[in-house]
Amino acid sequence: MELTKLTACKAADKIRKKEFSVPELTQAYLDRIGELNEKIGAYITVCKQDAGKQADNIQKKIDNNGELPLLAGIPAGISDNICTSGVLTSCGSRMLSNFVPPYDATAVKKLSQNGAVMLGKLNMDEFAMGSSNETSWYGQVKNPLDYGRVPGGSSGGAAAAVASQMACFALGSDTGGSVRLASSFCGVVGLKPTYGAVSRYGLVAFASSMDQIAPVTRDVADCAAVMNSIAGHDPLDSTSRDYGHEDYTLSLKSDVKGLKIGLPKEYFSGGIQKEVKEKVLDAAKVFESLGAEIEEISLPLLEYALPAYYIISSAEASSNLAQYDGIKYGYRTRQFEDLVDLYKKTRGEGFGEEVKRRILVGTYVLGAGNYDACYNKALKVKRMIFEEYQNAYQKVEVILVPTAPSTAFKIGEKTADLLDMYLNDVYTVPVNLAGLCAISVPCGFDSSGLPVGMQLIGKPYDEGTILRAAFTYEKYTGGNGGIDCGI
């Protein structure tokens, strides 16, 4: 049996039945990382020894027939912007290349309380700013399905690790689509929880009003299992909500009879790749054949979502990243003349191009002369997008759209044209602006064999419904068109 091919739920079941041990499973993943990481670049740090120790401890509990938590013994990777006690948390940046947090993020703590084994820290776009993983200071992550292509971003390391079986599941972050885009490009499942569903404590801030820690998994059932472990109110994050979160695995019913699914026409026109459109519309037909009611709807504010997102996220980033000054922690330039010179050199050397660009844009839109014309206007657009979705949810329960306008593109293809790069996020950012939940699920391949992803968007805190719809689709089609996309 190839242990790394198993989903988290299947592996957990076999561990309980003692078909193999946690150290065996962990070692299989570490071997896989040893074999592939140099080529794919998904991990920045591999915690070989720690993972081994955790695996032994969990196995001891199993041998003593102790009560087994949900993810007991399942090896996972964590994005490098999620704090892990005693382990480098670089955010893909030179600025934090020496930052070893003294504490765990709440999501990490919860995973470890649930018995997950942490394999290491995953590569990502610098400070989660990017759509292709080309902005990391630690180098490009490659798409496991085609090394010449990007894995999507910013959580490219997370999606690439799960797709290439270097992690059974992973945690990434989703501010504007990071986890969904990367999952779509790598052919895995990624869920952006409702804002407030998962604690942000210990997630290095990019745009605090939209950031969410988000699971990347092999299938929908795993996604529900991981959400069960990480969701819920946390007194350490005042924006996390006590909504008495449900047992998400109870949503895993194969049933979409009568489910009202909206197809917004604006998401299927413009610069969308023909095959992406076809595959997502095919998925709509599958839902229809299973008893769902498909209705065309209109969300005309889509065209304003991307500019509003880039204004708001850059404004927040410019403020959040002001703390990296070479004094408190993180990188500090070697030679400087005075305090101002220290700040300038530290920030000049510590941040990469894209991060600097966002800080500049953010500072500009928050400037006294531009605040109303840019930042305030973007906030109004955000509110209007929220209302537009609220209205749509009067008619439908779930909205089905493509995750991205295209499949994975070639490394370097979009670095020269920023607008082209930012357009990757056109279908994902409205979800973050409106505080909704959404899941990206593979729905076939294009003619080059690259995975296509569809997005099921749900009302706030209605993860249960999108998980049910995604689960039903996956069960019916057998996953990505019935094809095993693990390499």
Q: Which among 14-22, 38-46, 127-135, 297-305 is the span making contact with ligand GLN, rule CB under 6 A?
A: 127-135
Q: Which residues, 23 to 82, sit near ligand GLN by CB under 6 A?
A: none
Strands across the sheet containing 451-458: 43-46, 117-122, 75-79, 169-173, 213-217, 189-192, 437-445, 451-458, 398-402, 260-264, 293-297
Nearer to ligand GLN, 74 or 82 (CB): 82
Minimum Å distance from CB 408 to ligand GLN?
14
Q: Tokens 């839109």 correspond to what residue?
A: 365
Q: Are 371 and 365 a contacting pair, CB within 8 Å?
A: yes
Minimum Å distance from CB 137 to ligand GLN?
16
Q: Tokens 């689509």 correspond to what residue?
A: 177
Query: Is residue 313 a contact point for ligand GLN (CB under 6 A)?
Result: yes
**Which of 270, 306, 272, 315 is closest to 418 using CA atoms?**
306
Minimum Å distance from CB 177 to ligand GLN?
5
Q: Are 1 and 25 a contacting pair, CB within 8 Å?
A: no
Query: Is residue 93 a contact point for ligand GLN (CB under 6 A)?
Result: no
Q: Which residues, 142 to 161, sit near ligand GLN by CB under 6 A?
A: 154
Query: Is residue 455 a contact point for ligand GLN (CB under 6 A)?
Result: no
Q: Rule CB under 6 A: choose which of 80, 134, 219, 425 binds ligand GLN.
A: 425
Query: Is residue 174 a contact point for ligand GLN (CB under 6 A)?
Result: yes
Nearer to ligand GLN, 177 or 196 (CB): 177
Q: Are 442 and 485 a contacting pair, CB within 8 Å?
A: yes
Minimum Å distance from CB 260 to ligand GLN?
28
> What's the CA gap between 30 and 115, in Å, rounded?
17
Residue 52 DSSP label = H
Query: Is residue 352 a contact point for ligand GLN (CB under 6 A)?
Result: no
Nearer to ligand GLN, 175 or 403 (CB): 175
Query: Is residue 272 a contact point for ligand GLN (CB under 6 A)?
Result: no
Task: Give the DSSP letter string of 98-123.
Answer: T---SS--HHHHHHHHTTPEEEEEE-
Q: Parallel, antiparallel, or unpaired: how do β-strands 117-122 and 75-79 relate? A: parallel
Nearer to ligand GLN, 11 or 457 (CB): 457
Nearer to ligand GLN, 393 or 427 (CB): 427
Tokens of 134: 């080309």
How would you class 213 by CB atoms within 10 Å of its CB: exposed for 0-12, middle for 13-18, buried for 19 or more? Answer: buried
Minimum Å distance from CB 322 to ligand GLN?
18
Query: Is residue 316 a contact point for ligand GLN (CB under 6 A)?
Result: no
Q: Which among 126-134, 330-338, 393-401, 443-451 is the span making contact with ligand GLN, rule CB under 6 A?
A: 126-134
Minimum Å distance from CB 327 to ligand GLN?
27
Query: Is residue 299 a contact point for ligand GLN (CB under 6 A)?
Result: no
Query: Is residue 120 a contact point for ligand GLN (CB under 6 A)?
Result: no
Cα within 13 Å of Cα(202), Cβ side = 29
Sign of CA dihedral 370, 425, 380, 200: negative
Tokens of 429: 């950012």
Sign of CA dihedral 429, 433, 439, 443: negative
What are the helix (H) ranges across 42-139? 48-63, 106-113
Amino acid, res. 170: A
Q: Are 216 and 182 a contacting pair, CB within 8 Å?
A: yes
Site string for ligand GLN, 178-207 (x = CB under 6 A): x-----------------------------
Q: Rule CB under 6 A: choose which of 51, 78, 122, 129 binds ligand GLN.
A: 129
How far is CA 167 from each of CA 121, 285, 298, 301, 475, rounded to the nearest angstrom?
11, 33, 39, 38, 23
Query: Is residue 134 a contact point for ligand GLN (CB under 6 A)?
Result: no
Please tell me whether the peptide bond between 154 and the residue prior to it is cis, using omega within 30 degrees of 0.
yes
Nearer to ligand GLN, 287 or 351 (CB): 351
Query: Is residue 130 a contact point for ligand GLN (CB under 6 A)?
Result: yes
Q: Which among 34-42, 89-97, 123-131, 269-277 is the span making contact with ligand GLN, rule CB under 6 A?
A: 123-131
Q: Which among 59-67, 128-136, 384-392, 406-414 is the span making contact with ligand GLN, rule CB under 6 A?
A: 128-136
Q: Rule CB under 6 A: choose which of 69, 73, 156, 176 binds ligand GLN.
A: 176
Q: Rule CB under 6 A: choose which of 23, 75, 177, 460 binds ligand GLN.
A: 177
Q: Which among 39-47, 176-184, 196-204, 238-246 is the span making contact with ligand GLN, rule CB under 6 A?
A: 176-184
Query: Is residue 131 a contact point for ligand GLN (CB under 6 A)?
Result: yes
Task: Give the DSSP letter string of 201-225.
Answer: TTBPPSSTTT--EEEEESSHHHHHH
Q: Rule CB under 6 A: choose which of 12, 28, 42, 128 binds ligand GLN.
A: 128
Minimum Å distance from CB 154 to ligand GLN?
4
# residues contacting ligand GLN (CB under 6 A): 13
The residue ranges that bind ligand GLN (CB under 6 A) are: 128-131, 154, 173-178, 313, 425
